Amino acid sequence: MLETIVERLQEAGHRLTKPRMAVLQVLETGGEHLSPAEILARGQAIYPALSRATVYRTLELLSELGLLRLIHPGEQRSSVACVAMHHHGHHHLLCIHCGCMIPFEECVVGELEATLSQRLGFEIKGHLLEFYGLCKECRGHQKVEQ
């Protein structure tokens, strides 16, 4: 994965600075869903001078290049970098109260993708499907509060 990201950055004319490489290393080893604060903390273990601004700029750049997606799970949690190097769909249930994210594999939009692609002449490379609501725990707390 890291090689693909490095290649895409170089092809787009971007430098591979030590701070940027620290962010990329964190994304490669940190799992699919990391907040910018988590990326900063882990990245500073690799490159102590890494700044919050560099993390946000790098995430934005990677998002613009289609190498990751930024997800905004809710008011209680900041944006999350969702590493999405694959070209198939990525799916989440997002709790609007606590901000938890529950990934799921079931995908029923394949037929919709084919229809849209054919009807609009648009080559679809992937998709992000998010459902917003309340997780089981938050639903339980709301019933108690009422």
Tokens of 78: 């900041």
Can you tell me whether residue 52 is helix, strand or coil?
A: helix
Q: Report the alpha-carbon distance of residue 93 to residue 101 in Å, rounded.
A: 6
Report in angstroms the alpha-carbon separations of 95 from 72, 113, 124, 126, 135. Answer: 11, 26, 27, 23, 5
| One domain, residues 71 and 120 | no
Domain boundary at 52, 85, 118, which? Answer: 85
Domain boundary at 55, 85, 115, which? Answer: 85
- Return the pLDDT at 7: 87
Domain range for 1: 1-85
| One domain, residues 17 and 70 | yes
Higher pLDDT, 79 or 141: 141
pTM of the model: 0.65
Query: Domains in the chain: how many in total?
Result: 2
Domain boundary at 65, 85, 105, which? Answer: 85
- Return the pLDDT at 89: 63
| One domain, residues 9 and 70 | yes
Report in angstroms the alpha-carbon separations of 7 from 21, 22, 55, 65, 111. Answer: 12, 16, 19, 11, 32
- Return the pLDDT at 83: 57
- CA 86 from chain centre, in angstroms, equals 12
Q: What integer is the mean pLDDT of 39-60?
A: 95
- Return the pLDDT at 4: 78
Q: What integer is the mean pLDDT of 83-107?
A: 72
Q: What integer is the mean pLDDT of 23-32?
A: 82
| One domain, residues 24 and 76 | yes
pLDDT digits (tens, 9 = 90+) for 116-145: 999 999 988 777 788 889 999 998 877 655
Higher pLDDT, 85 or 22: 22
- Return the pLDDT at 86: 45
- Return the pLDDT at 94: 82
